[in-house]
């Protein structure tokens, strides 16, 4: 793990990146870093992510109890703690509201079609968790079925959470989700998609082990049972455990008619 001083500086840097790219507005979003097995360094509540200083961060334990800091921790810290508890390989978490990806989440549409090779290799796909009230256990309970299998999740009517071995990886996964959402939106506007399948998809999945940017412990499923962006609404309406079983089943890609 990075030293605490370095982690504070990194949270400030990537918080400003989120704000400058329009992934958060006003006081939205939150970031955190695992300092060690017992301590999490996180952003404070009610503060613009583009205006933070290293001294603004808060240290909490894995139950969310404040250990150090003069500010209150984000009300969504429970989401971060869930991910750290379920994924020992994860060292940082980023939550934001990038416009296009959040638009998909607000429309009830997952990003699970294998449309772009880099996304297949780096993330597999991005599922959609059911809505949960921010700052309440509903939120992290909605995420729980997906955390072991994926490194980024759309949150219905809310935003995106991404996580990785360090803060740089977590932020890059957030960028990848938003970039893919923009591409998927263009295919939706054009009214045509050509998802990858067959040998092409199999070769990409095999390539993951050689890809330096992917060291995830998650399976990162690519498969989905839906045939189009519109069909992904059905996946979002299901109970999350049922939806998860659909997504991680044997690849079955259907090209649009």
Sign of CA dihedral 41, 124, 215, 100: negative
Q: How far is the C-alpha of 107 from the C-alpha of 109, rounded, in Å? A: 6
The angle at the Cα of 181, spanning 132 to 231, to the nearest 5 degrees, equals: 70
Residue 36 burial (CB count, 10 A): 8
Which entry of 4, 10, 38, 76 is annotated as an active-site residue? Answer: 76
Measured in degrees and rounded to the nearest 5, phi and psi for residue 83 equal -65, -45
Provide the 3-class DSSP secondary structure of residue 58.
strand
Provide the 3-class DSSP secondary structure of residue 97.
coil
Whether 141 sits among the annotated catalytic residues: the reply is no
Sign of CA dihedral 165, 170, 172, 178: positive
Alpha helix segments (H runs only) across 97-253 = 99-106, 117-122, 137-143, 167-190, 198-207, 232-237, 240-247
Q: Are 98 and 174 in contact (CB under 8 A)?
A: yes
Q: How far is the C-alpha of 241 from the C-alpha of 144, rounded, in Å? A: 9
Provide the 3-class DSSP secondary structure of residue 20.
helix
Report residue 105 as tokens: 């989440």
Characterise 150 by phi-psi region: left (phi > 0), alpha (psi -120 to 50), beta (else). beta
Active site residues: 76
């Amino acid at each position: 793990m990075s030293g605490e001083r370095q982690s504070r500086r990194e949270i400030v840097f990537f918080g400003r990146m989120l704000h400058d790219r329009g992934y958060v507005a006003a006081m939205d979003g939150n970031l955190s870093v695992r300092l060690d097995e017992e301590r999490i360094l996180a952003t404070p509540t009610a503060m613009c992510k583009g205006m933070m200083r290293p001294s603004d961060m808060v240290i909490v334990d894995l139950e969310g109890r404040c250990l150090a800091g003069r500010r209150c921790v984000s009300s969504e810290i429970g989401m971060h703690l869930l991910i750290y508890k379920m994924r020992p390989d994860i060292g940082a978490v980023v939550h934001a509201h990038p416009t296009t990806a959040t638009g998909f989440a607000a429309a009830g549409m997952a990003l699970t079609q294998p449309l772009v090779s880099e996304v297949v290799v780096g993330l597999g796909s991005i599922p959609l968790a059911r809505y949960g009230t921010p700052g309440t256990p509903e939120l992290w309970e909605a995420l729980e079925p997906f955390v072991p299998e994926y490194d980024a999740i759309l949150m219905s009517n809310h935003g995106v959470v991404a996580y990785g071995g360090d803060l740089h990886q977590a932020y890059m996964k957030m960028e990848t989700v938003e970039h893919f959402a923009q591409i998927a939106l263009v295919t939706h506007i054009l009214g045509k998609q050509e998802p990858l399948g067959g040998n092409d998809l199999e070769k990409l999945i095999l390539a993951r082990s050689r890809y330096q940017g992917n060291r995830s412990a998650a399976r990162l499923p690519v498969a989905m049972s839906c045939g189009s962006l519109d069909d992904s609404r059905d996946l979002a309406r299901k109970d999350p455990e049922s939806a998860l079983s659909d997504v991680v089943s044997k690849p079955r890609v259907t090209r649009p008619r």
